[in-house]
Amino acid sequence: MRNFVALLVFAPCLLSAQGRGTAAAASPATGSVGREFVREHYSKFEYRIPMRDGVKLFTSVYVPKDAATDSKTYPMLLQRTGYNIAPYGSDQYRGTLGPSALFAQEKFIFVYQDIRGRYMSEGDYVVIRPHKPVKSGPQDTDESTDTFDTIDWLTKHVPGNTGKVGMYGISQPGFYATAGMIDAHPALVAVAPQAPVTDYYMGDDSYHNGAFMLAHRFSFYMGFRDREGRDPEPPQPAMPFQFGTPDGYDFYLEMGSLANADEKYFKHKQPLWNLNLDHTTYDEVWQSRAIWKYLKNIKPAVMLVGGWYDTEDAQGLLRQHEFMEKNGPPAVDMLVMGPWNHGGFASGDGDRLGNVTFGSKTSVYYRERIELPFFLYYLKGRGDGVFPRAYVFQTGMNQWRKFDRWPPAAAKPTAIYLDAKGALAWQPPAQAAFDEYLSDPNKPVPYIGTLATRVLNSYMTEDQRFAAARPDVLVYKSAVLGSDVSVFGPIAVDLRVSTTGTDSDFDVKIIDVYPGDAPDYRNPAPAPGVSAMGGYQQLVRGEPFRGKFRKSFEKPVPFEPGKPDRITFAMPDIAHTFRAGHRIMVQIQSSWFPLTDRNPQKFMDIPKALRTDFVKATQRVYTGGAEGSKITFRIEE
């Protein structure tokens, strides 16, 4: 069911996101910034800043030259990262500064820091270092104390600073920005965590509802290695991993048990991979890294930025925003969501993703109209300082919307019910029934209809017709919509299911079906008069759910074979309009490979599953009656 279009991506997703975060392009209207521009307008300094426990963190500082020649002063913009702050050397300059080229042209003091234990900084590295809410002395450090100590030193020792600091970062650097606003230094007045890692297990990079995000984690850990020794050292050259095939589906299927990867590919040199496989439940390892639980009474102004189609950290910032709103939120707690993949707002035009277009240059708009004004107001006192609680791009309608709360009050919960014969109904079906399919983990449902070795960064907008044609995918479709249906906020899934196994995944996809039909949806040049998007089944939101976690993510329980049970969970928010003339579709399947790992459909420690453990199971989804399955949207009235 997959066509054979080779799609090769040669850089791990998070590493490329970090590059996007530090190398954003300027729009043609504002010119461009390059290494020569930076060298001409900025002086570079390097420091080893002492933390309260004596560990020194390597820091690069770029100061506008007129701070010395004309005695001008500037606020600081800080980014702390685990990816490296190359180039190293006071005579070696970056090609860009700040979140986008607009900032270098505007002029700030730009600060970049290797976090504790990475590259040129001293200390030991801990991935997504746990926060310590109680500290008994200078040896009790975490990312919040390291940020505080860094800002304290910078404001006292860097000439020409105004005493105001802003902070930003994408992905893991977004986590460090989040940590920095806990018990923040008084000089830190504005923070923008962008596509931040917030909870590795609960919907971010590693696990989604108990299912392991296989392809992304494998590729990321192949490119993200700890330094060999404890002594600081610059990044070491590394060759990209060679999959030996353009077909990631076959590569991961051939891998077999997840445990095989350590011996065969990582060669026992990647403890972070094993950390994921050793902790498959929401245990203390993951709970201690859930930074969102500590975001109470935050003082700096906050702008949380993310993409509706973020393939890695779509859930984190939404959970972060929700928690902060309920626990002493800052005066400004702005949620910004656009039609972007991971970090897609930081560069490029943002006018399309995959086959779907958005009618305007959304990334350019964000950088010029949202991001820069936020920092200009809080760091330089320019602008009116009026920011909405939510600034979101409404896909489908392709327009920006502002709301004074998120989800908006006008969006009311409305259920749509799974019905017999593959229908979706707006009223509860009276007749109880069920649909079933045979799930074979040795022939899992692919997550895209093309070839790729690493996660396709546009898969969350891809056409789902390749999956709809499979016998192991249930398809439910509404009647043609007579008017627009605009959905804002999270999507609640409530399924009544059974399995002949003792564990199974139930993956749910929400799809926008375009009107019309094309003779061949894979044909890039349809016949004259036929829309290239005719009949397109656009993925709007999709999430896996590992059935054994239906009662608790801490303590999984097996299914009783053949006995109906319930699975309920929330899918990440959307802001999408299903246009009149379109249909709403729901697809349900039990594998989504290799986006997620395969469930052997036995209740067991899945990373240790042998080839013989992967068995077929018959899945049932129950519809109609008092206990039938349903999906609940928040629909704007």
312 and 373 both lie in a single domain? yes
Please say whether the beta carbons of 18 and 170 come within 8 A. Answer: yes
Q: Mean pLDDT throughout 89-110?
A: 97
Work out the angle at residue 406's Cα, subtended by the Cα atoms of residues 400 and 411, and round it to the nearest 5 degrees.
Answer: 85
pLDDT at 41: 97
The CATH number of whichever domain residue 612 belongs to comes to 2.60.120.260
DSSP, res 29: G
Which has the higher per-residue pLDDT, 69 or 374? 374
Last residue of a domain, one of 385, 403, 421: 403
Please say whether the beta carbons of 491 and 574 come within 8 A. Answer: yes
CB atoms within 10 A of CB 408: 20
Q: Mean pLDDT throughout 144-161?
A: 98
186 and 314 both lie in a single domain? yes
371 and 475 both lie in a single domain? no
In a domain, 568, yes or no: yes
Measured CA to CA, the distance from residue 280 to residue 269 in angstroms comes to: 20
pLDDT at 532: 78
pLDDT at 19: 34
For 413-461, write each residue's pLDDT tens digit.
Answer: 999 999 999 999 999 999 999 999 999 999 999 999 999 999 999 999 9
Last residue of a domain, one of 356, 382, 403: 403
Q: Mean pLDDT throughout 553-582?
A: 98
CB burial of residue 380 (10 Å; 0-12, 13-18, 19+): middle
Q: How many residues does the chain have?
A: 637
Strands 207-208 and 211-212, bridge-based pairing: antiparallel
DSSP, res 320: H
Helix (H), strand (E), coil (C) string for 37-96? HHHHHEEEEEEEEECCCCCEEEEEEEEECHHHHCCCCEEEEEEEECCCCCCCCCCCCCCC
386 and 464 both lie in a single domain? no
Q: Specify the pTM.
A: 0.93
For 541-552, write each residue's pLDDT tens digit.
Answer: 999 999 999 999
In a domain, 263, yes or no: no
61 and 169 both lie in a single domain? yes
Helix (H, G, I), strand (E, B) or coil at 395: strand
For 122-147, write each residue's pLDDT tens digit.
Answer: 999 999 999 999 999 999 999 999 99
Residue 4 has pLDDT above 60, yes or no: no
335 and 372 both lie in a single domain? yes
Residue 22 has pLDDT above 70, yes or no: no
The count of domains in the chain is: 2
Residue 271 has pLDDT above 80, yes or no: yes
Q: Mean pLDDT throughout 241-266?
A: 95
Which has the higher per-residue pLDDT, 524 or 119? 119
Partners of 446 in the β-ladder:
593
CB atoms within 10 A of CB 514: 19
399 and 416 both lie in a single domain? no
Residue 2 binned pLDDT confidence (cut-offs 50, 70, 90): very low
Residue 10 has pLDDT above 70, yes or no: no
342 and 421 both lie in a single domain? no
464 and 606 both lie in a single domain? yes
Measured CA to CA, the distance from residue 196 to residue 392 in angstroms comes to: 17
Last residue of a domain, one of 381, 403, 425: 403
Which has the higher per-residue pLDDT, 69 or 1? 69
Measured CA to CA, the distance from residue 77 to residue 62 in angstroms comes to: 10
For 512-529, write each residue's pLDDT tens digit.
Answer: 999 997 555 455 555 555
Peptide bond just before 407 cis, omega within 30 deg: yes
Partners of 209 in the β-ladder:
none
Of 240, 344, 347, 265, nearest in space to 23 by CA:
347
In a domain, 514, yes or no: yes
What whole-number percentage of the chain has pLDDT above 90? 89
Please say whether the beta carbons of 159 and 68 come within 8 A. Answer: yes
316 and 445 both lie in a single domain? no
In a domain, 210, yes or no: no
Helix (H), strand (E), coil (C) string for 332-392? CEEEEEECCCCCHHHCCCCCEECCEECCCCHHHHHHHHHHHHHHHHHHHCCCCCCCCCEEE
Q: Mean pLDDT throughout 147-154?
A: 98
Domain encompassing residue 77:
13-199+289-403
429 and 382 both lie in a single domain? no
Residue 238 binned pLDDT confidence (cut-offs 50, 70, 90): confident
Measured CA to CA, the distance from residue 626 to residue 327 in angstroms comes to: 37
| Residue 494 φ/ψ, nearest 5 degrees | -135, 100
For 170-187, write each residue's pLDDT tens digit.
Answer: 999 999 999 999 999 999
In a domain, 217, yes or no: no
Residue 20 has pLDDT above 90, yes or no: no
396 and 543 both lie in a single domain? no
In a domain, 230, yes or no: no
Candidate from 87-101, 218-232, 502-516 with smallest mean pLDDT: 218-232
Q: Mean pLDDT throughout 203-217?
A: 97
The CATH number of whichever domain residue 297 belongs to comes to 3.40.50.1820
Q: What's the whole-number average pLDDT of the chain?
A: 92
For 353-385, write each residue's pLDDT tens digit.
Answer: 999 999 999 999 999 999 999 999 999 999 999
In a domain, 218, yes or no: no
Helix (H), strand (E), coil (C) string for 94-138? CCCCCCCHHHHHHCCEEEEEECCCCCCCCCCCCCCCCCCCCCCCC
For 325-364, write each residue's pLDDT tens digit.
Answer: 999 999 999 999 999 999 999 999 999 999 999 999 999 9
Q: Mean pLDDT throughout 215-242?
A: 89
Written as six digits, the tokens of 491 are: 């999507």
In a domain, 278, yes or no: no
Beta-carbon contacts of residue 155 (< 8 Å; ≥ 6 apart): 76, 161, 163, 165, 185, 187
